[in-house]
Amino acid sequence: MDNLKIEQMECARIPTEYGEYRLCLYKNNQDEKDHLALVYGDVGGKHSVLVRVHSECFTGDVLGSRRCDCGEQLQQAMQLISEAGAGVIVYLRQEGRGIGLLDKLRAYNLQDLGYDTVEANLALGHGADERDYSIAALILKDLGVRSVRLLTNNPEKIACLKASGFKVNERIALEGAVYDDNAYYLFTKAHRMNHLIDLVPLPVRSSRKNGNGKNGSHSSMAV
């Protein structure tokens, strides 16, 4: 995002089961979304700060949906940061890999017909992943973070932070549970989106009707 600027509007104390965080709300000059930073402990001027850059997922974060691993990753990040004594979760309001909640629900319906998560986004006229992490980099700079240990399975987040001038000293994987409802999703993230997930074979996935009305099938693997 060219000429991107952010402004911290307000911070407040947020007590959680993982300890006491500060929640800071940021405005920016590129969109009308309220991006957030959940800060634990003292991170200003610190190196190797434990950081999770997390994209909003209403279904996973709030409802505990098992169609993805987002909510579990968020909870794991909060726990690991509290155990470390300091860290940041940058919560970016880019639902559904940037396509918004409405089209995310439409994509879910396509996935129920057998499309994978990439195919569904493309069928709706979107890119496979429309997220941008530039705001996260600016938020971390505003908080005084000097370098990070990044909680992620997504190499794009590492590349973006590095391109923004951040040193990523370490990548720490977040491994969630595998359910029937998210196994193919995890497989797709690993094989089509290059996420760093260990895989083991799983049975052939249920079939769907392809464009000519005939049944097709996808074999799948997942963590």
* Rounded-to-integer distance, Cα 155 and Cα 28, Å: 25
* Rounded-to-integer distance, Cα 54 and Cα 97, Å: 11
Using the structure block, give the residue that is written with the tokens 């890999």: 97
Q: Which of 112, 129, 192, 198 is catalytic?
A: 129
The b/e string for 92-125 (b: 16+ C-beta within 10 A; e otherwise) is bebbbbbbeeebbebbbebbeebbbbbbbbeebe
For 102, the token pair is 């409405």
| 103 is known as an active-site residue | no
What are the E-state strand segments in the chain? 6-16, 19-28, 35-40, 49-55, 87-92, 147-151, 167-172, 200-201, 208-209, 215-216, 221-222
Q: Which of 34, 42, 131, 132 is catalytic?
A: 131
Which three-class secondary structure state does DSSP give residue 162? helix
| 198 is known as an active-site residue | no
Rounded to 10 degrees, the C-alpha dihedral 94/96/100/104 comes to -170
Residues designated catalytic? 129, 131
